[in-house]
Structure 1
């Protein structure tokens, strides 16, 4: 584990490049659909949700398969498979001429994706356990740094060079991240010991993990977090358009709103991760869920883009403690040798939330306003905090009392 800091730094850069490339399209996707000939706001919102979610449909299905292969053959090979594959697919998106083509390519991208879950598994298995919270928070900060600059740069480049060329830049960033991993990441992986273990199907592996009661609880937490947050994501550019009007720099402001949450998330993630190593990730997870629920409410009452920016900045501070602490807890409760499988199932639940959230948000956008969706997201986050307290705090206390008796 002497190389864990080097791996963490390299994978931080890799996560940054991957997320920057992947999120460049977020702020202008609804606006791009307008350029392709769509004009009805509800149709645009629905298609934006479907295209955005297409990536997560196939990711939900294939992540456990890639996770099983990672536990058998190593995590680094999965990083390279995913990175180079996504570089090709994202470049092809630059040649799309219609919504259906974008949707199909997004689904293909989800099939071969998995860079970030593989990075999490590699870092968690090559990092001392007492540093896991710090490592997960730091890796999350790299992801968020990419999420910051991705929409921001995407909005700028949409104004300067147009939408289509951004896909080519995205492909180049993904290719660069893959090369970085190929030459610099070192993995401690006992392939001989992994080969001796009996092969397990995806269903068999899930049956083993689901009997560890904390893991299904954590998977549920991940799903609700992503569903509540992503249900509003495809509508944010349209909300910015509603607040700002259709004047100049619209794509820039949409990118800025999309990036500000990631900026505060990036600042908070390493700090909250380090704090979780001291006081326990369960406490950080519960507090951050309540904080995210509270700070989601002001978004429903803003009247200017700058008010929305402020509300989403404070939301990001609490979001920084969510997924890193979930990943730390998964490592805590997962048996040795099944780390990639366990993280892959969590990624499937994350993808399920990413998939259903935008579809539901887009589908009901003709019934409810985005302000009402912000309030629903807040209620879901509050409910999630009670679920964490019941499943990870009260049950653990009961189990400890039972062992003493």
Structure 2
């Protein structure tokens, strides 16, 4: 088997395990704070859960560009292993937390050393043939999405059987295993001697150089808009499901189904749309997917039953499957080899920024406009991204990329 395929398979499982491990703790975070860390006031538990959840993204936003710079200097695999083994240790330590402060600091430390996913994307993009990049990016994303979908389900089941603390130990062990597999099997054709001779820029200088590359800044903007559009209504969806369902019977089941529908269709569509983008061009798939995703938010705002919401969320996931993979493929297309690590790390920072800003804006606007208004806001955000992509990428697309 060709090495790029081996890298893709191993890192698919790596992304699955890392994303499953990161999301496995979400279903019982508030319960962990209540039963194991001693909090009793419901409001206090809610505040701490939100702060602890956001802590990871705050430090990730700050440190990702730094790790990207080191990836271009010392190699992508080195950064992959640094992040994998580091997060494995931190995740296991969360099981020993005795106060909310311990958990918050560990989550912030986890964001500081994180970077397994962007390092995986960078490594796969660097080792995959150009005409297979879209397929590889879509396939790799499907692994992360699969972990994101199954992680909460696995975590919820394990919490009822083995308790909360052992899940952190198990998650750390899975991340450690994924990192070991990458250490033994993944190959990175990185020329360290050539990288050492290259001019070493600061993070700021690297960003200024990347900003001069045509097409790269619009892709960062699209990444932010995707995450902002997805996250701004996300925390209110269970309450919307409750409003539509009209009863507490099987409420958790319906809320879980609605939440999983987008991820399920995303996982299925990502490799297919990635492969199609290799034939018709990533720019075209990105434009169509942005339009489709924007349109799919409108019926969510107009839903009167849970089934209508579920089907709209499933349709949304199909178009989301054509967004992040094509963005990653285009970043690789436009970026010089010497700056690939930094290019993906800045994109990861932009993604973390969307994860932070989205829930904050959604929470602030939930009172004045309601969740229906947030769905419309998400549609408007992606529509704005569509116009930008059309102006900056599609209009200057070369005829050679046509069918």
- Asked if TM exceeds 0.5, the reply is yes
Deviations 1:189-211 (A, max 9, x none): 11111111121111111111111
How far has the Cα of 1:51 moved from its partner? 2.9
Gap change, CA 1:249 and 1:179, over 3 Å in 2: farther
Q: What's 2:42 paired with?
A: 39
Q: Distance in 2 between matches of 1:234 and 1:47?
A: 15
Contact 1:290-1:382 at 8 Å conserved across structures: yes
Q: 1:46 & 1:365 partners in 2: Cα distance?
A: 17
Match of 1:329 in 2: 330
Give the structure 1 partner of residue 170 of structure 2: 169
User: In 2, Cα distance between the equivalents of 1:308 and 1:163?
Assistant: 32
Provide the residue aligned with 1:283 in structure 2: 284
How far apart, in 2, do the equivalents of 1:95 and 1:300 lie? Answer: 43
What displacement does 1:169 show? 2.7
C-alpha separation between the residues in 2 aligned to 1:382 and 1:369? 20
- Partner of residue 8, structure 2: 8
Relative to structure 1, is the Cα distance of residues 148 and 26 closer, same or farther in structure 2, using a 3 angstrom cutoff? same
> Taking structure 1 as reference, are residues 31 and 154 closer, same or farther at Cα in structure 2, changes over 3 Å only?
same
Per the normalisation by structure 2, the TM-score is 0.90
Which one is further off, 185-194 or 162-171? Answer: 162-171
Name the counterpart of 2:21. 21
Go from structure 1 to structure 2 and tell me whether the alpha carbon gap of 1:300 and 1:33 turns closer, same or farther (over 3 Å shift).
Answer: farther
Q: 2:69 is matched with which residue? A: 68
Q: Distance in 1 between matches of 2:258 and 2:33?
A: 19
Which position in structure 2 is the counterpart of 1:373? 374
1:321 is displaced (CA, Å) by 0.5
CA displacement at 1:170 relative to structure 2: 2.1
- CA gap of 1:66–1:200, structure 2 versus 1, over 3 A, is same
- Structure 2 counterpart of 1:182: 183
Aligned partners of 1:239, 1:393: CA distance in 2, in Å?
37
Go from structure 1 to structure 2 and tell me whether the alpha carbon gap of 1:314 and 1:380 turns closer, same or farther (over 3 Å shift): same
Aligned residues: 396
1:277-316 to structure 2, matched below 5 A, reads 277-303=278-304, 305-316=306-317
Q: Deviations over 1:22-59 (max 9, x none)?
A: 1123344456667643434xx76665443322211111
Cα offsets for 1:313-355 (capped at 9, x unmatched): 1111111010000011101110121111111111111111112
- Counterpart CA distance in 2 for 1:231 and 1:379 is 12
8 Å CA contact 1:15, 1:146 repeated in 2: yes
How far does residue 94 in structure 1 lie from its aligned partner after superposition? 2.8
Pair 1:367–1:335, CA change in 2 (3 A): same
Deviation at 1:376?
Answer: 1.4
Q: Does structure 1 retain, via aligned residues, the 8 Å contact 2:291–2:382?
A: yes
Deviates more, 1:360-369 or 1:58-67: 360-369
CA distance in 1, matches of 2:162, 2:254: 17
Does the CA-based 8 Å contact 2:261-2:314 persist in structure 1? yes
Q: Which residue of 1 aligns with 2:222?
A: 221
Provide closer, same or farther for how the CA distance between residues 163 and 234 of structure 1 changes in structure 2, counting only shifts above 3 A.
Answer: farther
Residue 352 of structure 1 corresponds to which residue in structure 2?
Answer: 353
CA distance in 2, matches of 1:50, 1:105: 12
Contact 2:214/2:334 (<8 A) preserved: no
Question: d(CA) in 1 for partners of 2:350 and 2:283?
Answer: 19
Q: 1:360 to 1:44 in 2, by over 3 A?
A: farther
Q: Distance in 2 between matches of 1:113 and 1:244?
A: 38
CA deviations 1:244-286 (Å, max 9, x no partner) are 6895766555444333221111110011001101111111111
Please give the root-mean-square deviation of Cα atoms over the aligned residues, in Å. Answer: 2.6
Q: Aligned equivalents of 1:192 and 1:19: distance in 2?
A: 33
Structure 2: segments with no counterpart, 5+ residues:
none
Give the Cα–Cα distance (whole angstroms) in 1 for the partners of residues 282 and 271 of structure 2: 13
After TM superposition, the structure 1 = structure 2 runs for residues 5-404 of structure 1, keeping only pairs within 5 Å, are 5-29=5-29, 36-40=39-43, 47-97=48-98, 99-240=100-241, 253-303=254-304, 305-394=306-395, 396=396
Deviates more, 1:91-100 or 1:190-199: 91-100
Point out the more displaced range, 173-182 or 124-133. 173-182
Report the alpha carbon displacement of residue 304 of structure 1 after superposing the two structures with TM: 5.0
